[in-house]
Amino acid sequence: MTYKPLVLKWRPKCFNDLVGQDHIVSAFTNAFNLNRIHHAYIFSGSYGIGKTTIARLLAKSLNCINNSINVCNTCDACLEIQNNCFVDLIEFDAASSSGIDNIKELIENAQYFPVKGKFKIYLIDEVHMLSRSSFNALLKIIEEPPLHIKFLLATTEYNKIPKVITSRCLHFNLVKIDIDKIILYLKAILAKEQIFFDEQAIIYIANTANGSLRDALNLTDQAIIFGKGKIVLNVVVTMLGIIDNNQLILIIELIISNNVNQLIDVIDSISKNNINWEQFLIDILLLLHNILLIKIIPNYNFNYNKNILFRLSNISKSLSTSIIKDYINLILNGYKELLIVNNKKLVVEIILLKLINY
């Protein structure tokens, strides 16, 4: 039995399928319309936001019979690139092959014309991990490349690439994808897959993905498995090691009412689950941030149900703006301690008790 993970099944097949990188689509649309395609590009940004995917889409556009950003997805070049078997797209992982010998081989082969396509394209992933000697060897061919060669470089650490390389490339910085866009994308895919989902569960998955669409899709796949073919809220909460908003709000309410005994009981209760304490504090911070927004911008649009909004609104009325800001600062300072201490539950308790005694 074969199964294609969502992250592979729904990988973009054209630039119009990209999520959250509109500036990239606009730039390459203009480049093709003006027939101004550079010989070397660097795509930078955090993991899972589409650097390699965009490089492959560009390779497809350059070799498609349409000679346009609007690829046909039916010609040999499109299909072979899509199936990772296009002979003129050479993918090179600098993380595992950073030595000078690998770059020398690349340079020696670059002189030969494409076998099937219009261009021979070198896609170097995690390019910042190349050795100094490898960068020096690469410089010459990037500086004066044959007309049939295109270089597509991807990196999560742009600042580690030598200036002599970056100055000869066009640089595109990809942004983390907005949570709202991830939520809409996941909902659309699950509708097509005919998979039931709890909306709040999707919101939790999108938040945990931290701007990475790849992580969001992998977490969705995991949630489907845990939920026996469905995405169920309580299953997702357990899987992610997070606390439901109702309990998080209860904790804030107990802090405000100085109810130490019940607060400790709640912390003891949730600690029996597979809690990610770092994420727990981040979620508390997010709620406090939203409570502050409610106070400043009452009509702000939130992804919360009416009950949650009602409770958050009541909290905002009971706290001054300065107190909310002080709570946020205390948690931020405590978060630093949490990262270096093994007994994370103890640190969280101390942080919350500081809020009660503030």
- Per DSSP bridges, beta strands 120-125 and 149-155 are parallel
Share of residues in the chain with pLDDT > 70 (%): 98
- Per DSSP bridges, beta strands 120-125 and 40-44 are unpaired
Instruction: Give pLDDT, residue 98.
Output: 60
Count Cβ atoms within 10 A of the Cβ of residue 115 and give its class: 0-12 exposed, 13-18 middle, 19 or more buried.
Answer: exposed
d(CA 295, CA 287): 12
d(CA 166, CA 194): 45
User: Is 118 in a helix, a strand, or coil?
Assistant: coil
User: Is 343 in a helix, a strand, or coil?
Assistant: coil
Task: Look at the block and give the residue holding tokens 């970056």.
Answer: 166
pTM: 0.81
> Residue 152 above 90 pLDDT?
yes
User: Is 55 in a helix, a strand, or coil?
Assistant: helix
The more confident residue out of 133 and 304 is 133
Instruction: Give pLDDT, residue 1.
Output: 56
> Residue 165 above 80 pLDDT?
yes
At 212, list the tokens: 């990475």
Task: With residue 236 as reference, give the H or E element that holds it.
Answer: helix 233-240
List the beta strands (DSSP E) in the chain.
Answer: 40-44, 89-93, 120-125, 149-155, 170-173
DSSP per-residue letters across 66-104: T-SSS--S-SHHHHHHHTT--TTEEEEETTT--SHHHHH
Are 231 and 237 in contact, with CB atoms under 8 Å apart?
A: no
- Mean pLDDT over 51-71 rounds to 90
Can you say whether the dihedral through the CA atoms of 212, 293, 270, 246 is positive or negative?
negative
Q: What is the pLDDT of residues 4-30, one digit of tens each?
A: 899 999 999 989 888 888 899 999 999
CB atoms within 10 A of CB 143: 13
CB atoms within 10 A of CB 218: 17
Q: Give Cα separations from 54 to 95, 117, 145, 184, 284 (angstroms).
A: 19, 18, 22, 21, 35
**What mean pLDDT, rounded, does the chain reach?**
88
Task: Look at the block and give the residue holding tokens 């995405």.
Answer: 231
Question: May I ask the CATH class of domain 245-356?
Answer: mainly alpha
Q: Does domain 6-173 have CATH number 3.40.50.300?
A: yes
User: What does DSSP assign to residue 262?
Assistant: H
Q: What does the domain layout of the chain look like in residue ranges?
A: 6-173, 179-240, 245-356
Task: For residue 303, name the pLDDT band (cuts at 50, 70, 90).
Answer: low
Q: What is the pLDDT of residues 252-284, one digit of tens each?
A: 999 998 999 999 999 988 888 778 888 889 889
Report which of 190, 232, 200 is spatially closest to residue 303, judged by C-alpha positions: 200
Q: What is the pLDDT of residues 40-55, one digit of tens each?
A: 999 999 888 989 999 9
Task: For residue 214, name the pLDDT band (cuts at 50, 70, 90).
Answer: very high
> Residue 225 above 70 pLDDT?
yes
- Mean pLDDT over 197-208 rounds to 90
Are 312 and 290 in contact, with CB atoms under 8 Å apart?
A: yes
d(CA 334, CA 345): 12
Instruction: Give pLDDT, residue 230.
Output: 92
β-sheet bridge partners, residue 292 = none
d(CA 240, CA 83): 32
CB atoms within 10 A of CB 307: 11
CATH code of domain 179-240? 1.10.8.60
The more confident residue out of 68 and 193 is 193
